[in-house]
Structure 1
Amino acid sequence: MISADDLRYFLAVAKHRRLNLAADELRVDHTTVGRRISSLEHSLGQRLFDRTSQGWELTPSGGLLVEPAESVAAALVSAHDAIGRRGTLLHGRVRVACPDGFGAFLLAPALGALRRANPDLTVEIITATSHLPLTIRDFDLAVTLEEPTDSARVIKRHLTPFVLRLYATKAYLRDAPPIRSVDDLARHTLIWYVDRLMDVASLRAVHDALPVSVRVQSTNITAIWQAAAAGVGIAPIPQFIASKDSRLVHVLPDLVFTSDYWLVLPREHAYLARAQAVARVIESLVDERRQEISG
């Protein structure tokens, strides 16, 4: 019979794909991890991982075990959280997956009160502006740029629309050809995300609306913002970022791009007190800054 402890070892290896990294998370020796995985495979009569030069890769049988293993692990955490710690300070770890702009410019600065009230709580902000992997071992809650389609496994709430506008410095605009329409952007240096990595429809639409190839590309909105603020060129930047930078001015002020933020919680984690606390922080900061965010 599979034990919950067996599944804990299994999920650590599935997550990290290397025994030493799984061992660090579990706080055991890597040989112990390997021995526990081998024992689990023997008891199931199935090989769960292929040992390759790139790491431990899930086999088809291992892939089938991930979802039930996650559910068991999450249920145990939820039970401990609900019963063992009721009425005490929040503790443990909350992993938040979100776009880089939201994480750096909205969420991170809003965590002060939560941290002061709960010194044993760790908040991990994992940022990426791409499709987020919706498996519950990847995050406790997430902010996404697209509405999740897997409603059976997650609880989702629309947070807010947000707007992006084109920005550049006055010095750049003074020395560059005049801009009276979108077509005039073809004579300018444009700054935006790396196009081969841009798999979010709303942000891809921004790229497609630009009349010339983007010559300065990044995977991070901070780099895009800083390049524009240094006078490198013109960039679409979320209004809540650019509006606080006096170096930047609007380019073609009537041109506005709109996207949306969604709050997503895996159903297995939705009632964890620490996940709910971070969700409240997110909802509160959006309410307080809604006009700035949504334009």
Structure 2
Amino acid sequence: MFTADNMRFLLELSRTGRIADTARRLGVDQTTVSRKISRLEKDTGIRLFDRGTSGWQLTEAGRRLLPYAESVESTLLAALDETLSASSGSLTGTVRILTPDGFGAFVLVPGLGAVRAEHPDLFTELLTSTAHDVLTGRDFDIAVTLERPSPRSVVVRKLANYDLRLYASRQYLANQKKITSRDDLRKHTIIWYVDAFLDVEPLRILDALLPECRAHIQTNNITGHYQAVKHGIGIAPLPSYIGAFDDDLVPVLNDEFLAQRTYWLVVPRELTRLARVRAITDLLYSIVKNNPELRAAR
């Protein structure tokens, strides 16, 4: 019989791509997962998954069925969300948030106190990453990204615009000759991401703004850039929402080195009706609105 429960197994297997991971997430054994998928394929009369070396992948027919599975999940989650919230008087459950490391550590985390105070039974999980394919697993409730994803199964809105500027510490600049042009930077220690692992196009800025200038110190997260600059090791592009609030740091070359970038807010379409997801979304826009170095893009 074609059931909503079997659709739940299709949805989870499409997300994990592996029987074992799906079984673990649903709290069943692997045989149950296989049986549910086989039952669904028998009921529909079509093959819904191809199994390859990289795991289980939806067929074209499976992809056509996926939005209906997401709709079933969305309805059930919304009903549960409203019931629990009404009975407890505050929001409950967990919201998993995926963000670039700079935004997560320097903007979002300091603002989580407000939602914690209002909803003490709501749990938040923050994962930070600056990579091109962070959304492919769909293992998140809300994501903030530097690249605008395809809106096929997610709702995408602009969250904020921000500036990347060059910063150095006062200590570093006091011991160096005055920097008056980009050419002068060739004689200085530049700090940036690891070239081999930087696949996010909006952050590939050194070649454009500092041609033929290779970063001497490379680390794959912005907290490392900030710490290196703060300890007087060299000069790095930093978001102004980090550099402008540290009195030890000074902009270098002002507007001659300036990159304007955008953060996008991404929510899986089936989760947009959840009260706890809406609460965190509202929090993000409130944080942006109150930060003078972020320009609201709502």
TM-score, normalised via structure 1 length: 0.83
Distance 1:63 1:19 in 2: 18
Does the Cα contact within 8 Å between 1:70 and 1:136 map onto a contact in 2? no
Aligned residue number for residue 235 of structure 1: 236
Q: Does 1:141 align with 2:148?
A: no
Aligned residue number for residue 97 of structure 1: 98
One-letter code aligned to 1:264: V
Aligned residue number for residue 273 of structure 2: 271
Structure 1's 218 and 46: CA in aligned 2 closer, same or farther, altered over 3 A?
A: farther
Aligned residue number for residue 113 of structure 1: 114
Structure 1's 46 and 153: CA in aligned 2 closer, same or farther, altered over 3 A?
A: closer
Structure 1's 188 and 63: CA in aligned 2 closer, same or farther, altered over 3 A?
A: farther
Q: Does 1:258 align with 2:235?
A: no
**CA deviation digits over 1:175-198, x for unaligned, max 9?**
555421012222223222234554
Does the Cα contact within 8 Å between 2:98 and 2:128 map onto a contact in 1? yes
Aligned residue number for residue 202 of structure 1: 202
Distance 1:250 1:19 in 2: 52
DSSP-derived class of the 1:111 partner = helix
Aligned residue number for residue 168 of structure 1: 168
CA-based RMSD: 3.0
Aligned residue number for residue 28 of structure 1: 28
Distance 1:198 1:44 in 2: 43
Structure 1's 156 and 43: CA in aligned 2 closer, same or farther, altered over 3 A?
A: closer
Distance 2:141 2:17 in 1: 20
Aligned residue number for residue 225 of structure 2: 224
One-letter code aligned to 1:77: L
Does the Cα contact within 8 Å between 2:11 and 2:70 map onto a contact in 1? yes
| Structure 2, gaps ≥5 residues long | none
Distance 1:197 1:71 in 2: 36
Size of the alignment, in residue pairs?
292
Distance 2:28 2:205 in 1: 48
Match of 1:284 among 281, 286, 293: 286
Distance 1:149 1:23 in 2: 29
Q: CA deviation at 1:277?
A: 0.6
Does the Cα contact within 8 Å between 1:168 and 1:250 map onto a contact in 2? yes
Distance 1:64 1:31 in 2: 25
One-letter code aligned to 2:170: K
Q: CA deviation at 1:246?
A: 4.2
Does the Cα contact within 8 Å between 1:177 and 1:187 map onto a contact in 2? no
Structure 1's 241 and 207: CA in aligned 2 closer, same or farther, altered over 3 A?
A: farther
Structure 1's 196 and 235: CA in aligned 2 closer, same or farther, altered over 3 A?
A: same
- In percent, how many aligned pairs have the same letter? 46
Q: CA deviation at 1:10?
A: 1.9
Structure 1's 230 and 58: CA in aligned 2 closer, same or farther, altered over 3 A?
A: farther
Does the Cα contact within 8 Å between 2:171 and 2:232 map onto a contact in 1? yes
Structure 1's 275 and 35: CA in aligned 2 closer, same or farther, altered over 3 A?
A: same
